[in-house]
């Protein structure tokens, strides 16, 4: 029994240190996963801000076009009315 105490002790040390390594790795892996997610979220937020700006630009361009169209339509109507006189 005394002789078998050595492999038993080795078994306990090996199991506990590998278990510790596994647990520590899991914690580190979770931390780095959270950090990666946070980086991705902030990158997506920046992308959303750029998209919002683009939408605003498009809206402004659209309003300009509508204004120009209604001006042209008014001119056209005026021209047709003048010809009819």
Partner 1 sequence: MRRTTPWILWWATGVHAVLGLTLLMYPPAASIAILVGLTVFASNLSYLAFAALLILASVSAAWALAHESHMRRGWILVHLFPQYFLVLTGLLSNSYILAVGEFNGRPFEFWTALAGLWPVMLAAILHTAGVLERYFLRWAN
Contacts with partner 1, residue ranges (CB under 8 A): 3-4, 6-7, 9-11, 13-15, 17-18, 20-22, 24-26, 28-29, 31-32
Which residue, among 43, 20, 24, 44, has the nearest Cα to 32 in the 3D structure? Answer: 24
> In angstroms, what is the minimal distance from the CB of 1 to partner 1?
11
> In angstroms, what is the minimal distance from the CB of 10 to partner 1?
4
Q: Tokens for 42, please give them.
A: 């902030």
Nearer to partner 1, 13 or 50 (CB): 13
Nearer to partner 1, 20 or 43 (CB): 20
C-alpha distances in angstroms, 7 versus 4, 10, 11, 16, 34?
6, 5, 6, 14, 40
């Amino acid at each position: 029994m005394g002789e078998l105490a050595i492999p038993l002790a080795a078994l306990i040390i090996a199991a506990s240190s590998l278990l510790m390594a596994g647990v520590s790795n899991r914690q580190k892996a979770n931390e780095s996963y959270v950090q990666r997610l946070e980086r991705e979220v902030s990158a997506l937020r920046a992308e959303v801000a750029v998209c919002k700006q683009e939408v605003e630009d498009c809206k402004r361009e659209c309003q300009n076009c509508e204004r120009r169209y209604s001006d042209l339509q008014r001119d056209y109507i005026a021209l047709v009315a003048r010809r009819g006189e």
